[in-house]
Structure 1
Amino acid sequence: MERALTVLIRLELIAVLVVVLLEITYSDVLNSDSLFELHWPGPGIQKFADNSEYVIMTTPANEKYQCILPDEDLQRHQNDVNYGGPSAASLMQKVFSKEICTIRIETYWNFELCHGKHVRQYHEEKEAGKEIKLLEFYLGKSMKSPEGKEFEIQTVESFHGTYENFKVPTITIDGKEVPYYEVLMDSGTPCDLRGNIPRLTRVRYICETMGRNEMFTIKETSTCEYEAVILTPNLCSHPLYKMRVTPINSINCHAMNGSPTRPIGYEQLYRDTSSRTQFSSSKVRTTVTTTTTTTPQEKSTAAAAKQRLPRPILVDKQILQDFLNGDYCLHGGTGWWRYEFCYGKFAQQYHEDRNGRTVILLGSWKKEEHKAWWTKEKKAVGTKSVTHLYSNGDVCDITGKHRVAQVKLKCKEDMQPTAVTIYLAEPKDCEYVLGVDSPIICSLLDTADEYGILHPVATDDKSTPSTRKP
């Protein structure tokens, strides 16, 4: 009775599947996550023993097909896993023992991971005629094994059973669940935002056959805690650390009684889909890049002329005015902390989650304090940037003093008009450098006064209305 019921359920499933296949496009079939896939090998009725399973299907056009069901025992064993090789920890030891390092370069920060040794975040400031200034934080300097039952499988050398018996933690990458091997790197540079608790990085290794143990991503997941994802080929020989693909069972449907190899309706859908996915050669465009060579003298003359000429206004003048009034604030940053800069008001970092918004004031604008600092430091307006002082931020737990930030406003003409990149450095405890790169700064640099303070952009045509949409 139980076997008869199982066969009946499977027959109903196949019947539904065939009907559905006749009503959807061919591309939908190719992109589906179905456990079954139809094949049409042609005419020829198959003969089987009494215990074999097949079903006779008839389409709305009275076409008949003998569809052979997948072997039930074969499906049952597709979920089996039998492994007698080295543990994941043993496979990864080869990486840790070689002292391999990888570097990821981003807008401001560089990240260095020496496997099993340390994770470092650093920035090198290079100025002509001066020594290189190095700013660095260690995000972890001591390797440990993570705690938790889900990580016990990392040290198991052999096992037999099904995939469900051996759970491996996963992370979501491009919408797919990818298994990973994890180590903890702790004892990093103390974090003042968490009472001087050392920084910590969770380093997660995933299987990539073409990987070279390089950094795929690194981000701050909570205050002074980080996650780095590494592409390694060393795990790919271990069945639990490969990204598992759901097995697809083939169903062969043989044509009967002179029926076509594939149903007419299915063929029509196949042709319609194929015609819609053809590429048109008229839409293919070729981009040609040309390079002009100039002599050093021509470059010098062009640079001098460029400095004398006013910069073109890249951004709507109303936006520029709102920016100078502090009403148009710039936002940037990725990961746990994001940054907000309102010109002439404040610079701050913040984090938002379901529990609310956490804000740390890095500094607020005090014109007289900026002027005194500018004069003392003998600052000057550069051709591409200007730096302002924002003081009297939140009190720092380490120094007992107010936080202070130097905001470096930099012209970036090669970005979208209202695009912005914001990054933060901390050369000393609770003393920051907030970099703000944007085209908004470009035309404003020409208005800077003797203290580097920016002013509204002058215009000869006062009748020209703003193009900014309300």
Structure 2
Amino acid sequence: MRYLCFLSVCAFGIASCIEHDFKGFDDTILFGINWPGNPETLENLVEGDVNKPQLQNKEILKVTTSNKEKYECHIPELQTKESGGIEEYDGPSPINLLKPLFAQKICSYRLESYWSYEVCHGRYIRQYHEEREGKQVKTQEYYLGHWSPEKQTKLEAEIQALQETKATPKTTKVEGLTLPYVEMAMDDGTVCDLSGKPRMTKVLYVCYAHGKHEVYSFKETATCEYEIIILSPLLCDHPQFKPKDVSELAIDCLPVGDAPKKPRSLLKMEVDSLRFHHQTIKFLNNDGETHLKFELHPLNEAEDATDDPPKVTQALDKPPPVVLDDSPVRAFLNGENCLNGGTGWWKYEFCYGKHVVQYHVDRAGEKTTLLLGKFDEQAHLDWIRENKGKAPKPVEHRTSVSHFYSGGDVCDKTGKPRQTEVKLKCLENSSSPAQVSLYLLEPRTCHYILGVESPLICDILPLADENGLIKSPKLNATKQEAVVENEVDDNNKDEKDEIVPKFGND
């Protein structure tokens, strides 16, 4: 707690000292705190020796810990980096870079629990819901905006004028990054019953190198007025629209007087965190197999904290093979981590191997729940036999696997239990390994398709059998198992190795 308080004071001081506007509170500016030690013996600061003018010109923040330890923290100057190559750039304007997208008449889709959204770039945006009764399809739809060649010409002229004045593009936040965007105001949509005016949508195009012009977000900013963010790689060819490099600025905190290199409370926190994680790694070859053994050594309570926390020692002649951390996948497949999604009235919960639930929580906190299906292995096998096209493809061509969840709550319209096909799909080129995308479709009344897309799925797809079932997965590609050895105390005792399976129901 002492260290947390110290950091809070330090962070506040940084924010107030850097600038006198809100720039000091910009969460895109990252700082790291270094503890180089006494300046008299310091040789390698980030920007050189303490007597150098670069360091002397830095702003200094004096801080004192709860243990009366004093430090001088040298705050780096914030320098705005101009996007490289803007002055030399003579290529197409941002709106002209998007023209191939409009010319090919490409449409992107966003699927939610009830409504679906169709964004046909450079043409229109449609909100719709389809309900199928046998061979008949009833469609409820609204147009949220239209685009025209006249609007295109007008926007091109506006952007050209802005470029001549060297105006900075407007920006928006995407995954914590501040990104410039091209805005297309698509109006003349279906008249809104509430406002009596045509619906309109602002479409914001931002640069994303791995994007496929997909809809990143959709929200209603006012009554029948909407905002959509599109991730497009086309804008990345313009230097002004590329994401800025996010680098960490170093804050050097130097001890004053007899203060230690690091605050004692910080050292204690680091030692405590390592108390039961001091590991020694070595090979076991007694059975002809190659294993990894981790020895856990509790640290002595009376051990004095040193300036630097204990280092992990390795009894290896060469680095060990990488051991994959499959705990998120294991927790997912064991049904321990349930996935939740949905942005409309209904939201949904998917617990692998257990159930698919649709629910709504009202303002009073009361929850209305519908069971869309629960997993039964025999019912799944019967479904695969009746629907051969749902069986997994060969591993080399496999991008998804489907499971059948049946026996849900009885549907009022059909009088039959609800059922759901859960489609697990590998999501590649993701910015985060923990990213999960969920969508729910209702192609027939009370018959659902739940799409689950995540990088986690990529690890388990090859493990599915001919029926799509995953019974005894082992993710470690090196076929090595971790052996964890717990020592009761520091005395010499017989070692007992416990084999921990890399994946399964622990």
Q: Verify same fold: TM over 0.5.
A: no
TM-score by length of 1: 0.44
TM-score by length of 2: 0.41
